[in-house]
């Protein structure tokens, strides 16, 4: 039974999807966050966080390997019970809705603060939703293509950042262990926020063209995420003096503001606009996944109805209220907590449960044979 055929995504699309979802606005925020919590030693926290994430993603892939032709929802229904599948659908739909909402509000806030100061936030948000619908209504294959395109179109980003090279000073990086090991270890769970999104594997898995490559793909995606974070974090740490780092919000954008080119001013404005491709990965896939789960819950194959409801809901809500940047940060803290439980912690007992179940049923069948 191949329920999800004709909507397959290739390995590279899958990598782009996971990489895009995880990086998105983390690229703007992570240096300041790491520095606040662990000084320049935050680099070590980042590496440790990547290792934990890689382990967690492998666990997710291991779970999905046990039921290659269905999503986690189908799997829970089959193996645990109908109610478990439904509960999971509600939880995952809500989670990705929350995830995507934070992404789109954050992007709106950045545009509002840096590019379109006088345009009301809800109009910016509404305008962002139009391409979202165009991409998300077509399902996973188009989404995968969009993700791949976004990544290819964003490969210029590191080169722009190299233009700030003359302002850097490697001495700012030392001492790495300014406050000892404790803050570094403590900051590791905080890096999880910047890796959230790999859980989408539980829904993407049946659509994968080459399922045997899933583990490799997810490790590559995590590795790419780590590389982009490492790049921007090291650059910020050698660009800002340690005390200055505490004074600057969104260091990645601040750095670009120092670039002076003869033919263009305010490079950061252009950057933000072009970076929308990556920003959009923090809400387009989650909104699609959310409506996919909702459609599954009601047993419908077409997710578009739910996508429309979701978007109209967001637009109407935004007319009355668009969270401020600080509220968005507070919401992301909540998302970190929920996400850590859902993406990092829950898969472990789930995998153990499935392993146990498999063993019991194997024993049973052996006994029957005897």
Partner 1 sequence: MRRTAFKLALSLIAAVCLAGCYDKVDMEDVSFSLVVGIDANEENGIRTFTTIPVFSKNAKKKTQELKVEARTLRESRDKFDAFSIGSFNGRKAQVIVFSKRLVQQVPDWFRYVDVFFRDGRNPITPKLVMFDGDLEQLFRYQSPDQPMLPLMLIGMIESASSRSESVKTTLQELHRQMYDPGQTPYLAEMSIEQDAKMKGTALLDRKGKYAATLSLRETTYLRMLQMTSGPAVNLTLPLPSSLTKAPPDKSWISLVTERVRTRIKPSYSGGRFRFDVRIRISASVIEKLSHIDLDKLQKQVEAACAREIRGKFEELIDKFQASAVDPVGFGIYARAYEYAAFRGVKDDWGKAFSEADIRVKVLVSFADEGSVK
Contacts to partner 1 by CB under 8 A: 113-120, 123, 126-127, 130, 167, 169, 171-175, 178, 240-244, 246-247, 253-254, 257-258, 260, 265-266, 269
Measured from the CB atom, the residue of 81 and 120 that comes closer to partner 1 is 120
Question: Cβ neighbours of residue 70 under 8 Å, at least 6 residues apart?
Answer: 3, 4, 78, 206
User: Looking at beta carbons only, is 53 or 168 nearer to partner 1?
Assistant: 168
* Rounded Cα–Cα distance for residues 341 and 317 (Å): 28
* Distance in angstroms between the alpha carbons of the first and the last residue of the chain: 31
Residue 75 token pair:
């799997």
CB of 27 to partner 1, least distance (A): 17
Q: How far is the CB of 24 from partner 1 (least distance, A)?
A: 19
Determine the 3-state secondary structure of 175 from DSSP. coil
The full DSSP string for 208-270 is BS-GGGHHHHHHHHHHHHHHHHHHHHHHHHHHS-HHHHTT-SSHHHHHHTT---SS-S-HHHH
Residue 122 or 193 having the CB closest to partner 1: 122
Pick 117 or 365: Cβ nearer partner 1: 117
Minimum separation from the CB atom of position 244 to partner 1 (A): 4
**Cβ closer to partner 1: 22 or 108?**
108
Q: Which is nearer to partner 1, 65 or 137 (CB)?
A: 137
* CB 232 within 8 Å of CB 27: yes
Radius of gyration of the chain (CA): 21
Q: What span, in angstroms and rounded, lies between the C-alpha atoms of 347 and 241?
A: 41
Residue closer to partner 1 by CB (options 73, 307) is 307
Residue 248 CA, distance from chain mean position: 24
- 219, 16 Cβ separation under 8 angstroms: no
Task: Tell me how far, at minimum, the Cβ of 240 lies from partner 1, in Å.
Answer: 7
Question: What's the min distance (Å) between Cβ of 108 and partner 1?
Answer: 14
CB of residue 277 vs partner 1: minimum separation in angstroms?
A: 19
Residue 301 Cβ vs partner 1, minimum distance, rounded to whole Å: 20
73: tokens are 């929802």
């Amino acid at each position: 039974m191949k329920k999800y055929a004709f909507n397959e995504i290739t390995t590279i699309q899958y990598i782009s999807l996971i990489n895009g979802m995880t990086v998105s606005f983390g690229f703007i925020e992570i240096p300041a966050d790491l520095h606040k919590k662990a000084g320049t030693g935050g680099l070590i926290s980042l590496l440790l966080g990547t290792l934990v994430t890689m382990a967690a993603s492998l666990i997710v892939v291991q779970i999905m390997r046990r039921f290659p032709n269905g999503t986690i929802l189908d799997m829970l229904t089959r193996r645990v019970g109908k109610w478990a599948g439904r509960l999971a659908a509600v939880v995952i739909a809500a989670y990705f809705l929350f995830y995507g909402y934070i992404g789109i509000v954050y992007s709106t806030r950045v545009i509002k603060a840096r590019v379109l100061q006088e345009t009301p936030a809800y109009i910016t948000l509404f305008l962002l939703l139009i391409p979202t619908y165009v991409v998300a209504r077509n399902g996973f294959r188009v989404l995968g293509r969009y993700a791949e395109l976004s990544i290819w179109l964003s490969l210029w980003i590191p080169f722009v950042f190299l233009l700030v090279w003359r302002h850097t000073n490697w001495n700012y990086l030392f001492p790495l262990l300014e406050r000892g090991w404790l803050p570094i270890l403590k900051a590791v769970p905080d890096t999880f926020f910047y890796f959230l999104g790999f859980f989408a594997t539980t829904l993407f898995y049946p659509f994968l063209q080459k399922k045997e490559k899933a583990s490799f793909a997810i490790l590559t995606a995590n590795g790419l995420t780590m590389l982009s974070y490492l790049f921007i974090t090291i650059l910020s740490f050698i660009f800002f003096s340690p005390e200055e780092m505490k004074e600057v919000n969104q260091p990645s954008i601040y750095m670009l503001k120092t670039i002076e080119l003869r033919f263009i001013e305010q490079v950061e404005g252009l950057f933000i606009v072009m970076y929308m491709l990556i920003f959009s990965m923090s809400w387009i896939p989650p909104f699609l996944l959310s409506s996919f789960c909702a459609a599954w819950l009601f047993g419908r194959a077409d997710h578009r109805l739910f996508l429309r409801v979701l978007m109209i809901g967001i637009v109407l809500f935004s007319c009355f209220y668009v969270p401020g940047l600080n509220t968005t940060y507070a919401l992301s803290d909540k998302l970190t907590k929920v996400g850590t439980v859902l993406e990092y912690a829950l898969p472990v007992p789930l995998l153990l449960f499935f392993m146990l179940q498999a063993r019991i049923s194997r024993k049973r069948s052996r006994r029957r044979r005897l």
